[in-house]
Amino acid sequence: MTEIEPMNVPELPSSVPPRRRHLGRKIFLAFLSCVTVVYGLILVFHLLVPRRAADAANLSLLEQCREMCLAYGLVPTGHLANDARAYLRSEKSRPLVQPLHEILKDTAFKPQESQDLPLLGQPAPKFELSDDQGTIVSLQGTLKDAPVVLVFYYGYHCNHCVGQLFGLNEDLRRFVELGTQVVAISADPPELTAKRFAEYGRFDFPVLSDPDNKVAQAYGVFQPEADGKPEVKKHGTFVIDSDGTVLWCNVGNKPFLDNQTLLTVIARQHGLLESQP
């Protein structure tokens, strides 16, 4: 048999010359290196230099870069409390500093409307959960004394979630003045919450453990994996009147940080607004 010699197929010329491709790769790597260096510089600056108010005049270039990175959560430090405060400051400039009566007579302020969710106007699901010290806290027991702001957060691994708790803690005295209690719930076991408190300090309101997310599910902020659909978890903030009725609610992918809205909702319900809208 005659051997068939393989055909020599000529290589098709590349549309981009090798030298140009090599140059393009160099430019891209140089750009990537510059971005890495700049990001590293901003991160070191963020760790070493205290942050000024976001609206301070004459911010330096690095401070402006830091504010931009904070706004998009690009400068985590690994310190959960610091990252939570940084997120809070990027989204909310400062705690409420005015006296409560001035806050409530601010006619220019427009509170955020409640979402029209199934629980709105309905009795809030009751619960009995443990805090990090083993104390059992029940909704019905808490409501004997005051309305409740109830917050569902993902856990102390989420700096955005913890930022909401820091914000509530900053403004807590305003809620106390209105006779309102704040309660936070996550699936974190009590031991983990106690560990985080030992590392970063306690909040001045109950932080409860809902390890199987049953209470979160009752409030519509958790849906377990089922029928091939993935687990769904959301942030939730609810204002519950002293009779157990849900007055206002907000559920979504971001924590709710507008505490003035919460104060206004409670004051309006009890006829405490100095100037009714």
**Catalytically active residues, by annotation:** 161
- Do 183 and 142 contact (CB within 8 A), yes or no? yes
- Residue 164's nearest CA partner among 84, 222, 232 is 84
Q: CA–CA separation, 142 vs 183, rounded Å?
A: 9
Question: Do the strands 232-233 and 136-138 form a parallel or antiparallel pair, or are they unpaired?
Answer: unpaired
Task: Read off the tokens for 197.
Answer: 């408190």
Exposed e or buried b per residue across 89-116, where buried means at least 16 C-beta atoms within 10 angstroms of its C-beta: bbbbeeebeeebeebbeeeeeebeebee
What residues pair up with 151 in beta bridges, in sequence order? 184, 237
Q: CA–CA separation, 157 vs 140, rounded Å?
A: 29
Amino acid at 223: Q
Distance from the Cα of residue 13 to its chain's centroid: 54
Question: Do the strands 181-186 and 148-152 form a parallel or antiparallel pair, or are they unpaired?
Answer: parallel
Distance from the Cα of residue 151 to its chain's centroid: 11
What residues pair up with 232 in beta bridges, in sequence order? 223
Q: Where are the alpha helices (DSSP H) in 49-79?
A: 61-71
Q: CA–CA separation, 119 vs 125, rounded Å?
A: 9
